[in-house]
Every structure is written in C-alpha cells, then in structure tokens.
C-alpha cells in the first residue's frame, strides 16, 4: 500500500466518492436521498472494517518487534505506529461526533423506523450547524477543515505519499475547480451548502474513509520497516521452471517445481541487459518486447534471456546469473465477422480481431488507412468506417505492430422503392377507380442481405415526393409531400375516368449508425403512373 497500490476496498471507496460527487450535483428528491443514505451506510460499513484491519496491523507490528528482540530501531517504529493509530482514532471520534450532532439536531431517527432519519433532508439545519447561522462562516465545517489538514500534515511525516491537504476549497478541489458555480466556494460551502442531512453524513463518512486509507498506508510502511537490519525470510512462494513454454500435443511437458523465498529486510539489485529492474515483493519484473527474425516450420523461434541478481552477504556483494529460455510464436491475425468480406462504404462495420498466439497479453489497438477505426469495449472488437474503395487495417498490441489486413469496400445497396395505395401494393396495369385514390405511402425497402449484416445502417426513408393529377397532357393539380405518406383525397374530388395520377420520388434519406442523415441517390424506378377508371 505504501508503494501506491490500492486494495479492492480502497478502490471501492474511491468509486463511492465519485458517485457521491455526482449525486451532490443532482436535484434532491426522495430517490436521491435514499441513494445518499445507501452510500453513507456502505462507507461506514467499510470504515468499521478498515478500523479493525488497521488495529490488526498495529498489533502485528507490536508482535514483530517482540519477535525481533525489541531493538531500539524497531521500538521507535512501534512508537510511531501507535502515534498514527492514536491520532487517527481521535479524528474518527471527532467526525463521528459531528455525525451524531447532525442527526440529533435534525430530529434524530424516525420513531417508526429506526433505520431511517426523522428528517433526511433538513438542508437549513445542516447549513446552520456546518456553515454557521446567517452565513457567518463560523460553523463546525471550518473547524473540521483545520483538523483534517492538521492530520494530513501530521501523517505526511510517516508517509511521503500523503497529500498536503484533505479538505480543499472549491478552487483547489479537483472536481469543483472546473465548475464556475462551485470554484469560488470555501470547503464548508462546497460540501454542506444546500445539502440534505443524508448527503452531509455521506460527506463525513467519505472524509473518514480517506483518513483510514492513508492511515493504512502509513501503518503498512511502518510495518515493512520492522527488522530491516536483519535478514529474515518472510515471504515464501512456490515456483516452477519449464524446459519449454510451448509444448506440442502428444509430447512430454517437463518442469522443475520448487520453493523460493525473499525478505523485506534485504534489497536485492536485479538487472536485465545491464539495466536495473523494478523489484516488487522480492521479485524483479522482467519485461521486454519479444521479437524474432527466423521461425521454424511451425512458426516458432527459440530464444533466451539472462538476468543478474546481486545481494549483500557478510559485507560483500554476491551476484547470481539466471538464464531463461522462451519461445517466440509468429503472430497470426484472425478476423471474425459475418461481414468480413463485405465492408460497406461509410458504414459501421464491426470486426472481431484476435491474435491467439499472444494469449492474455493481447492488448490491441487499430489504425486504418482509407477509413476510420474505432476500438470497441471488448478486447479485439473494432468498428471500421470505410471512406474509400479499400481499407488497410493495421493491428498492434501494446504499441507493437502485429500486421495489416486489407479489405475491399462495397457501395451501399440502393433501397427498393415500393408505392402502396390505400395500404395495398400499386398495380399500374389495372389502375384504380377515380374516386378510390386516397392514402399513398412510398416505402424504401433495404436490400435484405445488407439489412441482415448491418441493421443499424439499413434504415431508409422517402422524404420528398410529388403527385400530379393529369388529364390528357395537362396537369390539373399537384401536391408536394415531405415524408413517405400523404392523403390524396383532393385528387379524388377532382378526378374523372381517364385521368392519371403520376407519382415522382424526389428525395430519399438514410439514417446511419450515428443517427446522422445521409442523402441516397436512388436508381431504378422512381416514378409511377396510376390510370384512373
């Protein structure tokens, strides 16, 4: 923890803080109040568990000091840990006292339901208690700010990663400083102005969780210092070394299985290719980009690497050399998609790009020439939007180029325009009675194959058309329609036997995957003549 890592519980607390910040920005209603109370109760449950854990760390330090012979250095570490625990306990007690005051002075708990508060809102009472009556800025939150920042200053002496302050005004708060309405508020106003009781309690429990988190970091750092001058094996773990990391089916796998150990009290120096390695829990972290120039018929290349470990024993340095063998497999790109051979122009073509040889280390990124590549939410998913007749998709993993796949691009199939008269398909050979021409609807029907592959791209609509009532060679009436359908009853009132209704489609649109509208240049039959009989 002292090295910057966070436990799952600490990550959960951080997530709760983000949710709390978002809820504070919402208009308060009963549902929001319930969510504030849920957050507060969740944080308090985690806080109680953290208090127990931190007390356990202090007890472990005390036991370790006794086991190590109670040297002066270790006893000083124990004293520091006791001071941290005492100071933290005082802060937690102070914050919980504020909680009790807020609850009591806003009506206490609901007598009919002890799990609910009598007045979960109580914004005015909260403001008076925490900010001060009539905006005199003398409420409890100002003392809370001073105590939080004094605690941060105290703890920084035991943990350099501790932030300088725990209570910030709006201009210093990482979230509020970007909001024009919040950046000029002080700490008290930022956290307790126009704030219901349950939200104020959630703010206090979140501050308490911060205190306990940083205390845990400091105690763990102190715990790691106990017995630092002695070489004591305190970490034992099992390891295995295989003759080969790659084994063909039907052949034997061979490996050495053994116990290894390390000690927090010694700091080994580890190197790879002459460069120092990061050492975590006694183990050096070797990391490099695997490469090879020559592969065998199966696409594999045998490689080795060497490392050095130096420790100081009995006043002198001892270096151990480690040589490890590994197999570099030639990566093969697999493209999985129903539409892999049919990328459509200016459409969102979803592809699943996998490189099985990379296994769990596969962390893909994509770059497209002749189009745009948008990385999906799951590993290997990518959406390709072509802008030319050919797209070259380059696949990389962890910044290292794997290969390039080339795709041909097809134009979007034109929709079929189908007119319906009074809900039935138009029959231009038989025509219609002069008085029967009523509702006309023109459908733009997508190509079935295109629709099955890319349903979000196959949304066509007739947006403009004209209808003419023609007698002989002269039009006697016309209607311009915006949309796919129109009632032509006025034609029926004027029409006579032998007249004709001529329909001409002027504009067709397509709604693409982004919800944007595109013009479609339709081909084929775009006008029809209906004889009236």
Domain extents in the chain: 8-225, 235-329, 334-410, 416-531
Classify domain 334-410 at the CATH class level: mainly beta
* pLDDT over 60 at 495, yes or no: yes
- Please tell me the pTM assigned to this model: 0.43
* Distances 473 to 432, 465, 468 between C-alpha atoms, Å: 19, 20, 11
* pLDDT over 50 at 276, yes or no: yes
Tokens 């029809």 label which residue? 528
Mean pLDDT for 378-393 is: 93
Q: How large a percentage of the chain has pLDDT more than 90?
A: 39
Average confidence score pLDDT of the chain: 83
Distance CA 371, CA 352 (A): 17
Minimum mean pLDDT range among 95-104, 213-222, 236-245, 407-416? 236-245
Give the largest Cα separation in the chain, rounded.
Answer: 117
- pLDDT for the residue 64: 86
- The residues near 502 (Cβ < 8 Å, ≥ 6 apart) are 467, 468, 470, 475, 527, 528, 529, 530
- pLDDT for the residue 250: 43
pLDDT band at residue 114 under the 50/70/90 scheme: confident
For 352, phi then psi, to 5°, come to: -115, 105
Q: pLDDT for 26-80, tens place per residue?
A: 444 566 777 778 888 888 899 999 999 999 999 999 998 888 788 888 899 999 9
Minimum mean pLDDT range among 23-32, 205-214, 418-427, 497-506? 23-32
* pLDDT over 50 at 461, yes or no: yes
Are 106 and 122 a contacting pair, CB within 8 Å? yes
What would the two tokens of residue 235 be? Answer: 């970490």
For 111, phi then psi, to 5°, come to: -60, -25
- The residues near 266 (Cβ < 8 Å, ≥ 6 apart) are 231, 311, 312
What would the two tokens of residue 427 be? Answer: 């029959």
Q: How large a percentage of the chain has pLDDT more than 70?
A: 85
* pLDDT over 70 at 119, yes or no: yes
Q: pLDDT for 229-272, tens place per residue?
A: 444 555 676 777 666 665 544 456 677 776 777 666 567 888 98
- pLDDT for the residue 243: 63
Are 9 and 49 a contacting pair, CB within 8 Å? yes
* pLDDT over 60 at 24, yes or no: no
* pLDDT over 90 at 88, yes or no: yes
Burial of 524 (0-12, 13-18, 19+ CB in 10 A): exposed
- pLDDT for the residue 425: 87
* Distances 215 to 54, 56, 99, 145, 388 between C-alpha atoms, Å: 8, 12, 21, 18, 59
Q: pLDDT for 403-441, tens place per residue?
A: 899 999 999 999 999 999 888 888 888 888 877 778 899
């Amino acid at each position: 923890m002292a090295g910057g890592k966070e436990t799952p519980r600490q990550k959960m607390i951080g997530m709760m803080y983000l949710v709390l910040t978002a809820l504070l920005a919402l208009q308060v209603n009963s549902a929001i109040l319930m969510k504030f109370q849920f957050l507060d109760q969740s944080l308090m449950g985690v806080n109680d568990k953290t208090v127990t854990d931190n007390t356990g760390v202090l007890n472990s330090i005390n036991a370790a000091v006794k086991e190590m012979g109670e040297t002066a250095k270790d006893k000083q570490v124990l004293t520091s840990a006791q001071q941290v625990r005492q100071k933290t306990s005082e802060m937690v007690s102070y914050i919980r006292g504020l909680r009790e005051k807020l609850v009591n002075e806003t009506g206490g708990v609901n007598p009919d339901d002890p799990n609910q508060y009598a007045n979960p809102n109580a914004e005015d009472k909260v403001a008076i208690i925490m900010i001060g009556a009539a905006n005199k800025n003398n409420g409890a939150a100002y003392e809370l700010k001073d105590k939080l920042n004094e605690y941060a200053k105290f703890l920084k002496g035991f943990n350099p990663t501790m932030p300088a302050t725990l209570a910030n005004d709006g201009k210093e708060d990482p979230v509020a400083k970007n909001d024009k309405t919040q950046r000029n508020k002080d700490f008290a106003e930022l956290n307790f102005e126009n704030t219901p009781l349950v939200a104020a309690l959630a703010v206090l429990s979140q501050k308490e969780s911060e205190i306990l988190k940083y205390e845990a970091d400091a105690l763990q750092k102190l715990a790691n210092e106990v017995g630092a001058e002695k070489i004591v094996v305190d970490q034992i773990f099992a390891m295995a070394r295989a003759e080969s990391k790659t084994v063909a089916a039907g052949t034997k796998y061979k490996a050495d299985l053994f116990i290894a150990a390390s000690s927090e009290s010694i700091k080994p120096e580890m190197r790879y290719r002459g460069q120092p390695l990061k050492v975590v829990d006694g183990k050096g972290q070797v990391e490099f980009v695997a490469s090879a120039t020559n592969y065998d018929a199966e696409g594999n290349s045998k490689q080795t690497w060497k490392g050095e470990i130096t420790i100081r024993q009995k006043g002198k340095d001892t270096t151990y050399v480690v040589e490890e063998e590994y197999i570099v497999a030639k990566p093969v790109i697999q493209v999985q998609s129903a539409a892999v051979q049919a990328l459509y122009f200016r459409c969102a073509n979803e592809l699943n790009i996998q490189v099985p040889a990379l296994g769990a280390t596969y962390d893909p990124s994509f770059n497209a020439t002749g189009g745009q590549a948008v990385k999906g939410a799951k590993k290997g998913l990518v959406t390709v939007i072509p802008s030319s007749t050919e797209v070259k998709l380059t696949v990389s993993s962890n910044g290292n180029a794997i290969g390039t796949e080339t795709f041909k691009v097809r134009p979007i199939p034109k929709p079929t325009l189908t007119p319906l008269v009074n809900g039935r398909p138009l029959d231009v050979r038989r025509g219609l009675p002069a008085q029967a021409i009523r509702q006309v609807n023109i459908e733009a029907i997508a190509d079935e194959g295109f629709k099955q592959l890319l349903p979000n791209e196959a949304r066509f609509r007739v947006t403009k058309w004209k209808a003419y009532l023609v007698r002989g060679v002269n039009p006697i009436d016309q209607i311009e329609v915006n949309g796919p359908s129109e009632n032509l009853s006025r034609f029926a009132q004027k029409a006579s036997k032998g007249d004709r209704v001529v329909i001409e489609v002027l504009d067709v649109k397509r709604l693409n995957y982004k919800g944007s509208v595109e013009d479609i240049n339709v081909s084929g039959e775009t006008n029809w003549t209906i004889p009236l009989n």
